[in-house]
Amino acid sequence: MRHLLRSAVGAAVCMFGLSLGAQAQTAPPAGRLLASNCFQCHGTNGKGPGFDKLAGKSSNEIYKELKEFQAGKEGNGIMAKHAMGFTDAQLLSLSSWLSTQR
């Protein structure tokens, strides 16, 4: 009986470890989930069509623009509303992800 219990516990621990490993492998890159909202207007991979193209911009440039929107320096439009919804850490992560799009 004791041997069966050890085997069951060992199997459960092994399965739990495998499931954690699988979850870690499927996690999206930092900032990608936050950027999913940007692509509604800025297009797939930030390449347009009618709005400002984000692809090819540096992380610093994107972050600076987002902070200006957040501070109200770039008007009171939809981008200001979006930018106000993010923390500085989220804006950095978002900017970093967007800067990788080509």
What pLDDT, on a 0 to 100 scale, did the predictor assign at position 55? 81
Element (H, E) at 37: none
What pLDDT, on a 0 to 100 scale, did the predictor assign at position 43? 82
Position 89, amino acid: A
Q: Find out whether 85 and 94 touch, Cβ atoms under 8 Å.
A: no
Q: Find out whether 38 and 32 touch, Cβ atoms under 8 Å.
A: no
Give the Cβ contact number of residue 47 at 10 Å.
Answer: 14
pTM beyond 0.85, yes or no: no
Give the Cβ contact number of residue 33 at 10 Å.
Answer: 13
Phi, psi (deg, nearest 5) at residue 101 = -80, 135
Q: What is the pLDDT of residues 17-41, one digit of tens each?
A: 555 555 557 888 888 888 888 888 8
What pLDDT, on a 0 to 100 scale, did the predictor assign at position 16? 53
What pLDDT, on a 0 to 100 scale, did the predictor assign at position 59? 95
What pLDDT, on a 0 to 100 scale, did the predictor assign at position 27? 81
What pLDDT, on a 0 to 100 scale, did the predictor assign at position 10? 57
Mean pLDDT in consecutive groups of 10 residues from the start of the chain, 102 residues:
55 54 70 86 78 87 93 82 92 92 82
Q: Mean of the per-residue pLDDT values for the chain?
A: 79
Three-class SS string for 42-68?
HCHHHCCCCCCCCCCCCHHHHHHHHHH
Q: Sign of the C-alpha dihedral, residues 84, 87, 89, 94?
A: negative
Domains of the chain and any CATH numbers: 29-99 (1.10.760.10)
